[in-house]
């Protein structure tokens, strides 16, 4: 069983409507035997990968829901309005987490304005996800994650991409029990996969209950991520945690 806990709608001229993007996503999941996934919204109201409003519409809450939604928010655009909407989505259980695009956007993870986002996440017991690694890594760096967890020790914080390609940065954070690591994009470059595999293995061996499978499709390949993580020399029960159990527990799927 597989939960892909980090992906986005496909983009490009081929897709004229959100419905077509949804169909492509479902087809990709079927082809790769992915049971469930978390599709992450953009933080801006207009986006090719879809806003929180659009994705919650596209993937309504049902008993058999295969595609869950993480909402996006930015302190730099319609912040108050987005925050109030997120509260509504959380009340109705339409989203399972909140994403911050630190680095893609120029705000720091410990930005004072985000305190209300962290407090909202705590109130609803959902994780806050943040972008880490390439593209201005300083905005979501490890020392800032430490600061946030120092201030909000109960907050579940998910580091997307494990500071790829510097996976070893995760080691500094494993002492925080509510720090989680999502593997999306780590299998993006075939040339560096051996080195990456060593760091990913070390991380998983240290905190097998806190590493979550994700692919970052459609920016990265779902198939290649499943192959890469599947190829690691891990016990079957550990693989089951990474591919399924951890995401199910952390996102309360």
Contact (CB, 8 A) for 161 and 186: yes
CB of 11 to Zn ion, least distance (A): 12
- Please list every residue from 88 through 117 that binds Zn ion, using CB under 5 A: none
Candidates 70-78, 99-107, 173-181, 209-217; binding stretch for Zn ion (CB under 5 A): 209-217
CB of 108 to Zn ion, least distance (A): 19
Of all helices (H) and strands (E), which one includes residue 119?
helix 115-124
Nearer to Zn ion, 120 or 132 (CB): 132
Nearer to Zn ion, 146 or 216 (CB): 216
Contact (CB, 8 A) for 25 and 63: no
Candidates 73-81, 110-118, 199-207, 213-221; binding stretch for Zn ion (CB under 5 A): 213-221
Query: Closest residue (Cβ) to Zn ion?
Result: 216
> Across the chain, where does the E strand assignment appear?
3-7, 36-40, 67-72, 98-100, 128-131, 157-160, 179-182, 211-212
Cα separation, 112 vs 131, whole angstroms:
18
Nearer to Zn ion, 34 or 234 (CB): 34
CB of 80 to Zn ion, least distance (A): 25
User: Which residue, 104, 98, 114, is CA-closest to 152?
Assistant: 114
Number of residues that bind Zn ion (CB under 5 A): 1
Contact (CB, 8 A) for 237 and 178: no
- Please list every residue from 215 through 234 that binds Zn ion, using CB under 5 A: 216
Cα separation, 183 vs 137, whole angstroms:
16
Candidates 18-26, 141-149, 194-202, 214-222; binding stretch for Zn ion (CB under 5 A): 214-222
Separation in Å, CA 58 to CA 23, 44, 68, 137, 214 = 11, 17, 10, 32, 21
Cα separation, 106 vs 234, whole angstroms:
38
Nearer to Zn ion, 75 or 103 (CB): 103
Candidates 64-72, 79-87, 141-149, 210-218; binding stretch for Zn ion (CB under 5 A): 210-218
Nearer to Zn ion, 75 or 133 (CB): 133
- Give me the residues that bind Zn ion (CB under 5 A), please: 216
């Amino acid at each position: 069983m597989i939960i892909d806990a980090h992906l986005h709608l496909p983009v490009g001229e081929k897709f004229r409507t959100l419905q077509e993007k949804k169909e492509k996503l479902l087809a990709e999941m079927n082809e790769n035997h992915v049971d469930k996934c978390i599709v992450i919204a953009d933080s801006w109201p207009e986006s090719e990968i879809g806003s929180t409003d659009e994705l919650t519409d596209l993937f309504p809450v049902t008993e058999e829901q295969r595609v869950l939604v993480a909402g996006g928010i930015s302190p730099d655009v319609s912040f108050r309005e987005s925050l109030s909407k997120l509260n509504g989505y959380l009340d109705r259980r339409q989203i399972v987490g909140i994403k911050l695009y630190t680095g893609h956007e120029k705000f720091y993870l410990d930005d004072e304005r985000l305190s209300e986002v962290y407090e909202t996440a705590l109130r609803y017991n959902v994780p806050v996800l943040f972008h880490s690694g390439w593209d201005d890594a300083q905005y979501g760096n490890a020392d800032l994650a430490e600061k946030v967890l120092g201030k909000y020790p109960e907050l579940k914080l998910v580091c997307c991409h494990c500071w790829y390609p510097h996976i070893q940065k995760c080691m500094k954070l494993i002492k925080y029990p509510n720090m989680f690591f999502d593997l999306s994009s780590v299998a993006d470059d075939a040339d560096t996969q051996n080195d990456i595999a060593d760091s990913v293995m070390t991380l998983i061996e240290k905190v097998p209950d806190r590493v979550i499978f994700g692919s970052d499709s459609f920016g990265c390949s779902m198939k290649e991520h499943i192959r890469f993580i599947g190829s690691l020399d891990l016990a079957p029960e550990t693989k089951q945690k990474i591919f399924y159990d951890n995401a199910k527990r952390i996102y309360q799927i």
